């Protein structure tokens, strides 16, 4: 994997580039739709490719390991063959999922013990094992196993957690370099910066991560309960240290406003379940503001979802029809809304890229941000 930096905004740290992988090029900044179990919920692969033009999607090591399991994925020839997605795939290591199972997991030096949320069976994720699992999945970009502490963690816990994450990272990095891809395409390994909301711990972690010299780096442990302003501060702190010639991936963030703020601070890659999860509940993001499609105000509004919007569904379905389907409980409503929201998110980062290259990102961002957060 290689990263080419193409432009930097003159008034901020926003930058545009291209990540080159064996499954295709990824223009940055980029938003990555989340396909936790090998599928982006309610969206066909051809819609992701042809209508939304997603350049990369995510899968999750924890979920794919438990179901369908590595034996099935290996027999298929990797996740690309299994789910029919020919473009790049990134897999999370499962660290966040194990973190979220606080009542059913134990962290030890050797790794994370946990019980499956499916059948209660016992499992152990070691730094080495999650590398092996992601080799079996065949993702283009794999993530290191880390602990994701709560955003409200006290300093003592955050310090102890970071030390464990760094020891795990060293083991995972060594194992990655001692193993090879299984399906004929290259794989990159991204270490993850942790450190909770403590600037000195974040700097320590960013330095540790940067010194590894990996092909890209990730920022984890944010958007987990801390105020947005603190999250932005931590991004600034970390990006002062992470190398500029490698892509920076902010994990699990977030709202359209979060995305623009992160881009302004030098982030290249982002993912979040928000566009699809909120879509399934009737919330649509548009370039004019946010709409709750269950509101009665849309009942007789026969205009397109967004007349000048970034979604192929806008010219076909009216607000009134989409509201009707949500109220009636029709599955198609969730599909249409999911496609729309993903198309909007991809439009947003594409517009950001255009303005970075043009040199006016900061002024564009200041103008559009209040519009995007407005409730229609």
CA 375, 352, 244, 147 torsion: positive or negative? positive
> 359-364: long-range contacts at Cβ-Cβ below 8 A with a sequence spacing of 24 or more?
359/7, 359/9, 359/10, 360/9, 361/9, 361/11, 361/12, 361/14, 361/263, 361/264, 362/9, 362/11, 362/12, 362/14, 362/264, 363/11
Catalytic, 25? Answer: no
- Are 23 and 88 contacting, i.e. CB atoms less than 8 angstroms apart? yes
Distance of alpha carbon 112 from alpha carbon 313, whole angstroms: 43
Note if the bond before 29 is cis, omega within 30 degrees.
Answer: yes
- Marked catalytic residue, from 92, 146, 268, 314: 92
Catalytic, 92? Answer: yes
Alpha carbon dihedral 62, 68, 73, 79, in 10-degree steps, equals -60
Distance of alpha carbon 158 from alpha carbon 163, whole angstroms: 9
Distance of alpha carbon 364 from alpha carbon 333, whole angstroms: 32
Alpha carbon dihedral 115, 106, 154, 207, in 10-degree steps, equals -100
- Marked catalytic residue, from 9, 146, 268, 271: 271
CB 151: neighbour CB atoms within 10 A? Answer: 18
Distance of alpha carbon 335 from alpha carbon 14, whole angstroms: 32
CA nearest 323: which of 310, 337, 309? 337
Q: Kindly give, in sequence order, each residue whose CB lies less than 8 Å from that of residue 234, ignoring residues fewer than 6 positions away.
A: 195, 197, 199, 202, 219, 222, 226
CA nearest 304: which of 314, 296, 294, 293? 314
Rg of the Cα atoms in the chain: 20
By annotation, the residues acting in catalysis are 92, 271
């Amino acid at each position: 994997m290689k990263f080419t930096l193409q432009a930097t905004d003159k008034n901020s740290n926003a930058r545009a580039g291209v990540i080159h992988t064996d499954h295709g090029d990824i223009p940055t900044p980029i938003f990555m739709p989340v396909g936790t179990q090998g599928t982006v919920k309610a969206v066909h692969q051809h819609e992701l490719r042809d209508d939304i033009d997603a350049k990369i999607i995510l899968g999750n090591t924890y979920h794919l390991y438990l179901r369908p399991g590595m034996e099935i994925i290996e027999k298929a020839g990797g996740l690309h063959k299994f789910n029919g997605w020919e473009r790049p795939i990134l897999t999370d290591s499962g660290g966040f999922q194990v973190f979220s199972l606080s009542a059913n997991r134990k962290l030890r030096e050797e790794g994370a013990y946990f019980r499956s949320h499916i059948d209660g069976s016992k499992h152990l994720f070691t730094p080495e094992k999650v590398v092996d699992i992601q080799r079996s999945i065949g993702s283009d970009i794999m993530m290191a196993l880390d602990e994701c502490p709560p955003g409200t963690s006290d300093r003592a816990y955050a310090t102890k957690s970071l030390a464990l994450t760094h020891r795990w990272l060293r083991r995972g990095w060594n194992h990655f370099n001692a193993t090879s891809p299984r399906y004929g395409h290259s794989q990159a390994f991204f270490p993850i910066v942790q450190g909770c909301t403590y600037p000195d711990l974040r700097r320590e972690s960013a330095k540790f991560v940067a010194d590894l010299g990996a092909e890209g780096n990730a920022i984890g442990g944010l958007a987990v309960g801390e105020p947005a302003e603190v999250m932005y501060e931590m991004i600034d702190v970390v990006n002062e240290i992470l190398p500029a010639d490698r892509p920076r991936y902010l994990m699990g963030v977030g709202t359209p406003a979060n995305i623009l703020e992160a881009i302004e601070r030098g982030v290249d890659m982002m993912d979040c379940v928000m566009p699809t999860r909120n879509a399934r509940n009737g919330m649509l993001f548009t370039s004019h503001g946010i709409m709750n499609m269950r509101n009665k105000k849309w009942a007789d509004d026969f205009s397109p979802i967004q007349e000048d919007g970034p979604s192929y569904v806008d010219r076909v379905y009216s607000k009134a029809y989409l509201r009707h389907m949500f109220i009636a409980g029709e599955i198609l409503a969730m599909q249409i809304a999911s496609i729309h929201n993903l198309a909007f998110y991809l439009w947003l980062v594409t517009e950001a890229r255009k303005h970075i290259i043009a040199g006016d990102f900061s002024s564009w961002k200041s103008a559009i941000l209040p519009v995007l957060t407005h409730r229609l």
